[in-house]
């Protein structure tokens, strides 16, 4: 195989489709040093974005809506892949595989019968691009008793580990998750709670755009301590890892219940939500003597959020993952390119200490265009 892989990630923030073109070394026994050749962000078509947002919560005629959205999503993925390859001047036959996360519409790790569901017709994606696709990474981990999330810690371990330093890799997407790379200990990781999701929802409700660029709207408000305390009172923050969550839990309805119709100024709510994300991360890492904290995901560009994190972690060196050679925007998409590479090379893609699975397993299902 060529060693060239495309990674596709569309997360709970619904900000679009992140794609990367990556070259991996041919031998899985050699320390992995992926080479990022090209990257691209393709915004969702407005109608598709609205459908995906609607599917994140229970509603009428979900099955019909899911079927329609799944086909449109596959076509959007395929068009994005074609744009990426055209930008990189690489032909489809040069690509070993596409690693695609799909779009999570339900993640219920605490249900009586735990399940997770990511949509996107992968057969259509393979057919449209004429490239084999590796997808459906989460459910095998769940079959072995895991939560199916987070999966990026295996990739973080492969490329970000430093033998003599306790590092944490913090991904702030719609939901925030952390990977703990502690020397001489198994890798750990879990979802800390909301990342950008609640902030994005709130600013959209105010008609001020899809997200709070650079945290500018939050900067105009004031932290409301009583609201912050109410937000932090959720029992999720007392759980120990392995743990994971999603938009079906931390969503607009959850926030409305916490607001209790109290007349907070909208900018104050935004500022409080920003502090809430930072504070929930601090709670999750309160007992960890980390030396370096590297941030990736869209939250890495929210200056107010980053400032809050630096205030809460005054003794920790805080940087973006770009200082390690991978841009904050590209880490998750690279992780799913790596999971496709791992599938092809029979490398386990989960970490039992992270997900709670009974053993490490090869993740993914192959979707052929032949």
- How confident is the model over 182-232, as pLDDT tens digits? 999 999 999 999 999 999 999 999 999 999 999 999 999 999 999 999 999
Residue 32 pLDDT: 58
| Domain match, 92 and 195 both | no
DSSP 8-state class, residue 322: G
| Domain match, 99 and 223 both | no
Report in angstroms the alpha-carbon separations of 84 from 17, 26, 341.
11, 22, 19
What pLDDT digit, counting tens, does each position of 94-144 carry? 999 999 999 999 999 999 999 999 999 999 999 999 999 999 999 999 999
| Domain match, 28 and 72 both | yes
| Domain match, 300 and 177 both | yes
Q: What is the pTM of this model?
A: 0.93
**Distance linking the first and last C-alpha atoms of the chain:** 17
| Domain match, 303 and 338 both | no
Angle between helices 62-88 and 46-55 (to 10 degrees): 130
% of residues, the chain, pLDDT over 90: 91
Domain boundaries, position 48 = 4-147+333-367
pLDDT at residue 29 tops 70: no
CA distance 276 to 278: 5
CA distance 279 to 237: 10
| Domain match, 193 and 337 both | no
Report residue 1's pLDDT band, with 50, 70 and 90 as the boundaries: low
Residue 136 pLDDT: 98
Cis peptide before 7 (omega within 30 of 0): no
Lowest mean pLDDT among 31-35, 121-125, 194-198, 257-261: 31-35
| Domain match, 113 and 172 both | no
| Domain match, 12 and 86 both | yes
Scored b (16 or more CB within 10 A) or e, 53-82 reads: bbbbeeeeeeeebbeebbebbbbbbbebbe
Residue 153 pLDDT: 96
| Domain match, 81 and 191 both | no
DSSP 3-state assignment of 69?
helix
| Domain match, 114 and 159 both | no
Report residue 45's pLDDT band, with 50, 70 and 90 as the boundaries: very high
| Domain match, 202 and 338 both | no
Lowest mean pLDDT among 19-33, 105-119, 217-231, 240-254: 19-33
- Domain termination residue (choose one: 290, 307, 324): 324
Spell out where 12-100 has E strands: 17-23, 35-42, 97-100
| Cβ 195 vs Cβ 297: under 8 Å | yes
Lowest mean pLDDT among 3-17, 305-319, 336-350: 3-17
Q: How many domains does the chain have?
A: 2
CA distance 19 to 66: 23
Residues facing 40 on adjacent strands: 19
| Domain match, 285 and 351 both | no
CA distance 181 to 163: 9
Residue 27 pLDDT: 52
pLDDT at residue 30 tops 50: no
Phi, psi of 313 (to 5 degrees): -125, 65
Residues facing 181 on adjacent strands: 167
| Cβ 236 vs Cβ 245: under 8 Å | yes
> What CATH number does residue 170 fall under?
3.30.420.40
DSSP 8-state class, residue 212: -
What pLDDT digit, counting tens, does each position of 277-288 carry? 999 999 999 999
pLDDT at residue 12 tops 90: no
């Amino acid at each position: 195989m060529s060693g060239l892989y495309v990674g596709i990630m569309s997360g709970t923030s619904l900000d679009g489709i992140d794609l990367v073109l990556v070259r991996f070394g041919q031998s899985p026994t050699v320390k992995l040093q992926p080479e990022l050749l090209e990257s691209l962000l393709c915004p969702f078509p407005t109608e598709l974005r609205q459908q995906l947002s609607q599917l994140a919560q229970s509603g009428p005629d979900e099955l019909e809506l899911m079927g329609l959205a799944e086909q449109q999503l596959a076509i959007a993925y395929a068009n994005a892949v074609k744009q990426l390859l055209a930008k990189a001047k690489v032909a489809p036959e040069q690509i070993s595989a596409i690693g695609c996360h799909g779009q999570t519409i339900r993640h219920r790790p605490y249900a009586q019968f735990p399940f997770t569901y990511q949509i996107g017709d992968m057969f259509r994606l393979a057919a449209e691009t004429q490239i084999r696709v590796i997808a459906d990474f989460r459910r095998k981990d769940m079959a072995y008793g895991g939560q199916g999330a987070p999966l990026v810690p295996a990739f973080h371990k492969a490329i970000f580990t430093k033998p003599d330093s306790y590092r944490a890799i913090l991904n702030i997407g719609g939901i925030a998750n952390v990977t703990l790379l502690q020397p001489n200990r198994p890798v750990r990781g879990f979802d800390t709670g909301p990342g950008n999701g609640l902030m994005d929802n709130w600013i959209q409700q105010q008609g001020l755009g899809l997200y709070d660029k650079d945290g500018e709207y939050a900067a105009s408000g004031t932290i409301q301590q009583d609201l912050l305390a109410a937000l932090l009172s959720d029992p999720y923050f007392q759980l120990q890892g392995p743990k994971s969550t999603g938009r079906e839990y931390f969503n607009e309805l959850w926030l409305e219940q916490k607001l209790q119709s109290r007349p907070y100024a909208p900018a104050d709510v935004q500022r409080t939500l920003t502090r809430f994300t930072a504070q929930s991360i601090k709670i999750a890492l309160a007992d960890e003597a980390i030396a370096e904290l590297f941030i990736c995901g869209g939250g890495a560009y929210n200056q107010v959020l980053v400032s809050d994190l630096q205030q809460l972690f005054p003794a920790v060196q805080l940087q973006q993952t770009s200082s390690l050679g991978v841009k904050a925007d590209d880490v998750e998409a690279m992780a799913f390119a790596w999971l496709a590479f791992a599938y092809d090379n029979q490398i386990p893609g989960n970490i039992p200490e992270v997900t709670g699975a009974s053993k490490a397993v090869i993740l993914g299902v192959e979707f052929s265009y032949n």
